[in-house]
Amino acid sequence: MTAGGQRYPYWHLVVASGARPTKLTIPGAECALTLRSFSDAVALKMAARYADSAVVIGGGLIGCEAAAALAACGVDTALVAPEVVPLQRRFGVEAGERVVKILSDHGVGFVGETTVAEIGESGVVLDDGTAVRADLVVSATGVRPDIRLAEKAGLETRDGRIVVDEHMHASARNVYAAGDVALAHNVTAGRRIRAEHWRDAAQEGLVAGLTAAGFSAAWDQVPGFSCTIGDSVLKYRGWGAYETCRLVDDHNGFTVWYETDGEVVGVLTLNADEDYRRGEELLRA
């Protein structure tokens, strides 16, 4: 049943409710724009036309991409994050240092190891009291899978996601889940994997649709994504968690190898497509 009271019968149901942006809990948070939907992107683009300065809160993939895009529009942009460098928690300090350089080359200033305490009419105030001018503030502080419907329906959930098998079956008959909301079993990995990029969501959705239509399909792709910061394209393949990382510089890029127990579990590249392809082979092995 919908919120409007309409009831729709189904034989197969795919839950692909995505994720909701994590809201800021600071004074003035309602003034910050988010970037999750197409309409959010349109609103941000329109706001950038009338802004001379901007602050992007959050050093993740979306934050880095948004900051570089704003700077490309001629907006004086700063990226603020609690980590030492952007993307630190996911990709390590060395990779983050390279991202700082990329951002700087595209006109973005990075302010690390700090948080925004307040958003006001003229900008933001950092936790140490420093004021940073901004006509435009963007909140890129992560997302949470939207499993409210799944919880109400009594589906099995774990770690804030819907538990599904390699065919995207959930715990209820003829119900499937795909995308950010799914904690799916990956055949190649031999375990359940958190996948958080639209390409993985599309692959999981394809598996769910084929399964619902009666075809044999299973999720066996190695998760991955690309991230465009200005004119630099980072490419990643991997299983997420790792124990050690090793960065190898190239003349116009780099490769980061992520390992656990001596085995490659992830690879991040910039202008190193041969390493990227080799990494995917090692991951599948």
How many domains, in total, are found in the chain? 3
Model confidence at 3, in pLDDT bands (50, 70, 90)? confident
Considering the domain architecture, whether residues 92 and 126 belong to the same structural domain is answered as yes
C-alpha span between 2 and 174 (Å, rounded) = 19
Q: Is residue 2 part of a domain?
A: no
Residue closest to 201 by CA, chosen among 15, 3, 55: 15
Considering the domain architecture, whether residues 37 and 97 belong to the same structural domain is answered as yes
- The whole-number average pLDDT for the span 161-187 is 97
Q: Which residues pair with 145 in a beta bridge?
A: 19
Q: Is residue 217 part of a domain?
A: no
Q: Is the pLDDT of residue 5 over 90?
A: no
C-alpha span between 68 and 62 (Å, rounded) = 10
CB 242 within 8 A of CB 91: no
pLDDT tens, 232-247? 999 999 998 899 999 9
pLDDT tens, 25-41? 999 999 999 998 899 99
Considering the domain architecture, whether residues 182 and 261 belong to the same structural domain is answered as no
Tokens of 228: 């465009």
**CATH code of the domain containing 54:** 3.50.50.60
Domain final position from 92, 109, 141: 141
What is the DSSP code (8-state) at residue 169? B
Domain final position from 165, 188, 212: 212
Range of the domain at 263: 225-284
Considering the domain architecture, whether residues 250 and 174 belong to the same structural domain is answered as no
Domain final position from 167, 189, 212: 212
Considering the domain architecture, whether residues 104 and 58 belong to the same structural domain is answered as yes
Question: Burial letters for 232-255: b for 16+ Cβ neighbours within 10 Å, e otherwise?
Answer: bebbbbbbeebeebebeeeeebbb
